[in-house]
Amino acid sequence: MEKREFKPFGEVSSLTLGGGGLAQVWGETTREEAVETVKFALNSGITHFDVAPMYGKGEAERVLGESLEGRSIDGLFFTTKCRLGRLPDENVYDHLNNSLTRSLETMNIQKVDLFLLHSQLVEDDFTLFSNNEFKDRNSTTLSSYFNAAIPAFEQLKKEGKIGSWGIGGIGQNKALISAMNHETPPEAMQCVINPLNSAGAIGYVDQAYDPRLIFKNACDNQIPVLAIRAVQAGALTSEMDRKPHDSGFDGLDFDDYIKARPFREIADEWNVSPAKLAHKYALSVPGLSSVILGVKNRKELAECVEAEEEDRLTPIEIKTLEDLF
């Protein structure tokens, strides 16, 4: 598997196994199949694993811990996250440290290589476009981020509990750009990368949220990027193999599936599955270090590995897919 430059680790496999699928966020699987999927990833040359406590209430981290039992982790890299919300500044370090400690215990490792803020960043007086009633849980203000989160991350580095820290590239456009241009920028970011240029259901903070704008700013600021939402929560696959959430929260993902019909048609013309084409697209976008996969079983992972082994899309093919939308 191709290795790419990624400053926090030196280099990383071009595919990363994410934890959403392993934790049944993206459809049903079993603990046994999830563990076997991790082992298949290891045997396929994947060196980076991206999980979070929010994925299945710790299930992704438990799967990873079970999969690594008795195995050397030399040459492997681990990312986990913490949703901070809006806490008093004096509580931020303890919250991050407590979450990290639980994650390390669950995964049975001593240190994570990358620790990410799992909250959406917003300016202090910003009103969320949707779900504003949950702002205290799901978003973190820039003042809290600058004054408390960054010092807490740096302290965790000094204590040897994390190698690097970063943010998810989701939230208010202006806030994310401010974070990238701060005197202490994030050491890595996750950015939404797909032909739809959509974050779907999780793009609820900023009505004008623009993944390509955020990605461009990350590249301009030389911040290493990991791609997320390559298949946009299933919208760029052959079918949505999960039911809509009862709350209607993921309705935008299902709307994107309808919108993506031209993508499925061109995938058929090019004799490739939609999911495989979506991953080929993400792998072909210049400036990315690794594409984080949301697969939930070995069959889905095998298709992604095949996509990685094939030639990258040409600039003309990339533009053709983007111009569909």
CATH number of the domain residue 275 falls in: 3.20.20.100
State the amino acid at position 311 in one-letter form: D
| Beta pairing, strands 162-168 & 139-141 | unpaired
56 has a pLDDT exceeding 90: no
25: Cα within 13 Å, side-chain hemisphere: 23
Number of domains in the chain: 1
Q: What are the pLDDT digits (tens) for 310-322? A: 999 999 999 999 9
Mean per-residue pLDDT, 63-90: 95
DSSP string, 135-190: HHHHEEEHHHIIIIIHHHHHHHHHTTSEEEEEEES-B-HHHHHHHHTSSS--S-EE
Q: What radius of gyration, in Å, describes the C-alpha atoms of the chain?
A: 18
Domain around 117: 3-323
Mean per-residue pLDDT, 281-293: 98
pLDDT of residue 141: 98
Rounded Cα distance between 11 and 14, Å, is 9
Q: What are the pLDDT digits (tens) for 112-134? A: 999 999 999 999 999 999 989 99
Q: Indicate the pLDDT class of residue 57, thresholds 50, 70 and 90.
A: confident
242 has a pLDDT exceeding 90: no
Report the length, in residues, of the chain: 325
Identify the helix (H) or strand (E) that includes residue 3.
strand 3-6
Mean per-residue pLDDT, 224-236: 97
Q: What are the pLDDT digits (tens) for 244-279? A: 887 778 899 999 999 999 999 999 999 999 999 999
